[in-house]
Each structure stands twice: as structure tokens, then as C-alpha cells.
Amino acid sequence: MMIGGLHISNVSHAFTAGCPVLNGVSVFVAPGELVCLLGPSGCGKTTLLRVAAGLEVLQVGQVRVGERIVAEGRHGVHVPPEKRGIGLMFQDYALFPHLTVLENITFGLNHAPQRRKWASEALTRMGLEAYAGVYPHILSGGEQQRVALLRALAPEPQVLLLDEPFSGLDVTRRASIRAETLGLLKETGVATLMVTHDPEEAMFMADRILVMNDGRVIQDGTPVETYFEPATAFVAALFGPVNRLRGVVRGGHVATPLGTFDATGFKDDTAVEILIRPEGLRLARPGETPEVRAGDVPCKPAPVSGRASRRAPIRAVSARPLGRSSHVVLRVPDGDGQALTIEARVPGVFLPQPGVEVQVTVNPRQAHVFPA
Ligand SMILES: Nc1ncnc2c1ncn2[C@@H]1O[C@H](COP(=O)(O)OP(=O)(O)O)[C@@H](O)[C@H]1O
Ligand SMILES: [Mg+2]
């Protein structure tokens, strides 16, 4: 059986001897699948795409498009970029200024009248039918981006590589262009590998997210897995600010000033770090019933030193409205006379005055325990 898609196997790459930028990276993208490479700037994302595209000569490993080997390190196979069946759209894509929008898309498709029909229909679908005959310079950034995408898709590549394709767009247009792009890619059935450093974009677009750091893939999972089951503290922190607590494991649990969390699998006396996302806290005023869901960890404030019966309350430090949610900073007594500062992000308007007591519960799915 033919297995299509993009297969990158054990690719390593160094621009300077001894300083590898990619370290044994393997990626598989099935036909019709959209995989996002997510990672901080400089971790090797663009280099991996350039190696797959053939813009860099592969040093170690193998790249296949379907069954066809297009690059192999040891044997020196190097199929040139235009013969790989790979469409590219990189950050600095440039349309041909002297060709119209439609000519840009159909450039090089001499004997494919049905692709011209596809190009006209796709322009309509993207809301660009009025621009078919104009030159690219009159288009906005978002419109040019969509034309470049159609140009990459026009020759019906088996594989599409996108490097930060939405980074040049303003925030208001980005969301709708992402959605249109996603719809179009899903219709074509192309195997898409897309680079982004924006975790929200990766969550929105991806069937699978590959998290990269320092030239290695450190996690490969669905967006929900990557967000709720981060493999390392690095992955957890990639999705936004996190509260970091410390503790020591006793009997499969770790006690913190914010409550006691499950630490199954850790040996007693292991020092651990507990990362809690701001959106993992639920808050209520004293006397109000907090919205507790099954499995929530109630935060009993730490006992005041030496007097287990008296607990210092958690209090608001500040609270700011964010529109759909509120950002609340809390002071959590640690039981030793000190206090931790914790950030919460809660739905709706929840704006306690500074100093007001707040009841806290934690969604355990948003609390992640890692070795310290
Ligand atoms: N042509 C090059 N020559 C030398 N070093 C390079 C070259 N291209 C990229 N690098 C280095 O490789 C590392 C990874 O770069 P890159 O793949 O562009 O990362 P990312 O796309 O994840 O931001 C960086 O340290 C970068 O400086
Ligand atoms: Mg890059």
C-alpha cells in the first residue's frame, strides 16, 4: 500500500561543525493532516522546513514524500526543490510584481486548464475574485498572503510547508484568514507542516503539535494533549504564564500552600515543581459558593505556624478586567509567615478590592507536577 505524506527521519543538521541546529528530528505528516511545529525562536523550525524543501542540502537522515526518497544524507540523494512535489510558503514570500493575481497563482501550470479553473474558484472562495486581474502591489498584506498560499497549492503538491504564514498580518484579520486557510487545506488533502511560535495558533490549526526546543522534538501530541498533558515544564510554560510552586512528595501527593496535589509515580522525598495555569484557578468571595467541579482541589490556606486551627486567608492583591475574563493577583500565605503571589484568570467580571478574602479551588487538570 502506498503511504503518502511527508516523512522526515532522524534528521540532524549543523551550520558550523560541532554546533548542531537539528538533533535527530523525526516528523511524519499524513495526507490531509496539519502538523504544527511549535517552539521558541532559534530552536530550528525554519531549518527543518528548509531541509525538507531541499533549500538546504541534507547532512544526516532521510526525507521522503510518500514512498519517494527526496533527500538522504549518507547516499547523497538530493532531489531539487521544484521536483519534490512540495509547496512552500515562507515568511518572506514574494509575489511576482509583474504578473496579475491569477497569473501569479497559475504560473508554471502551462498544460493544466483544470488547475486554472481551480485557481478561479479558489480565488472566489477566498473572497478575492475581484482581484484576479490586478497586480499584487494594490493588495493588502492579508490578501497577498492568501494569493501566495493559492500559488503554493496550485500545482497540487503532496506536501505543503508553511513558515509562520500569518505572522505579517494584523491581529484583527489573522483569525479569519487562519480559519479560511484551514478550510482550504482540509479540502485539498495536502500534508501540511506549519511552523509557528504562537501556541494559540498551533492549537487552532493543528491536528498534531510537535513541540521543539534546541533542535529536538520534545513532545508530539494533539493540541488538547499538549496543553493538558505537557511532557515537561518547558512545554507547560510555552502556552503562557504559569504559577510555579515547590514541594516535596509524600505518599504520592505533594502539599502546597494552594492545596494538595496528586504526584503519583514520584518517590517519597522527591523535590517537585507544580505549575498551575492562571486559568486553572477558580475563585469566589467568602460566603459565596465557589463553582467547584468534580475533582477540584480545594485550597485550604496554610495553617499559621504552630497553630493548626488558625489559617491565614488568601487575599486579593489586585484585580483588573480583561473583557471576557478578569485577572486577579492573590497573596497566598505559605504557613511560615511568608506569602506567595499567585495569578488567576477567571471568566467574567470578578474584581475583589485589594485585601478582600478570596476562596480558591484549583482544577487539577491545570496543575502539572514535574521534578524540580
Ligand atoms: N544559514 C545559516 N547559517 C548559520 N546559522 C544559521 C543559519 N540559519 C539558521 N542558523 C541558526 O540556526 C539556529 C536555528 O535557526 P532557525 O531554524 O531559523 O530557528 P527558528 O525558525 O526556530 O527560529 C539559530 O541559532 C540560527 O541562528
Ligand atoms: Mg523561523
Distances 81 to 70, 78, 125, 153 between C-alpha atoms, Å: 9, 9, 29, 15
Block residue for cell numbers 500565605? 333
CA distance 181 to 183: 5
The three-class DSSP label of residue 317 is strand
Distance 153 CA to ligand 2 centre (A): 21
CA distance 57 to 71: 8
Q: What is the pLDDT of residue 166?
A: 87
Return the ligand 1 atom nearest residue 43 CA. 22
Distance 67 CA to ligand 2 centre (A): 28
Angle 141-153/171-188 helices, nearest 10 degrees? Answer: 10
Block residue for cell numbers 501556541? 199
Distance 51 CA to ligand 2 centre (A): 13
| Residue with CA closest to ligand 1 atom 9 | 47
Q: How does residue 2 score in pLDDT terms, banded at 50, 70 and 90?
A: low
Q: What is the pLDDT of residue 292?
A: 64
Residue 284, H or E segment: strand 281-284
Please name each of the domains of the chain with its CATH number.
6-238 (3.40.50.300), 243-371 (no CATH)
Return the ligand 1 atom nearest residue 47 CA. 17
Which residues contact residue 137 at a Cβ distance below 8 angstroms, ignoring those fewer than 6 apart? Answer: 97
Q: What is the pLDDT of residue 336?
A: 82
Q: What is the pLDDT of residue 309?
A: 42
Q: What is the pLDDT of residue 289?
A: 67
Counting Cβ atoms within 10 Å, is residue 46 exposed (0-12), middle (13-18) or buried (19+)?
A: buried
The three-class DSSP label of residue 316 is strand
Number of the ligand closest to the Cα of 43 = 1
The set of protein residues with a Cβ atom below 6 angstroms from ligand 1 is 15, 21, 39, 41-47
Question: Quick one: which of 30, 48, 5 has its CA closest to 211?
Answer: 48
Which residues are found with C-beta within 5 Å of the ion, ligand 2?
A: 46
Instruction: Kindly state the percentage of the chain with pLDDT values over 70.
Output: 93
Q: How does residue 304 score in pLDDT terms, banded at 50, 70 and 90?
A: very low
**Taking 70 as the threshold, does the pLDDT of residue 41 lie above it?**
yes
pLDDT tens column, 242-274: 999 999 999 999 999 988 999 999 999 999 999
Distance 43 CA to ligand 1 centre (A): 8
Q: What is the pLDDT of residue 173?
A: 79
Best of 13, 27, 36, 46 to mutate for ligand 1, by most ligand atoms within 8 A of CB?
A: 46
DSSP per position, 64-122: EETTEEEEETTTTEE--GGGTTEEEE-TT----TTS-HHHHHHTT-TT-HHHHHHHHHH
| Residue with CA closest to ligand 1 atom 25 | 42
Distance 202 CA to ligand 2 centre (A): 15
Question: Quick one: which of 238, 224, 269, 236 has its CA closest to 251?
Answer: 269
The answer to whether 346 and 278 have CB atoms below 8 angstroms apart is no
pTM above 0.75, yes or no: yes
Specify the range with the lowest mean pLDDT, choosing from 73-87, 228-242, 304-318, 328-342.
Answer: 304-318
Mean pLDDT, the chain, rounded, equals 90
Distance 130 CA to ligand 2 centre (A): 33
Number of the ligand closest to the Cα of 211 = 1
Return the ligand 1 atom nearest residue 39 CA. 22
- H helical segments located in 206-279: 223-228, 233-238
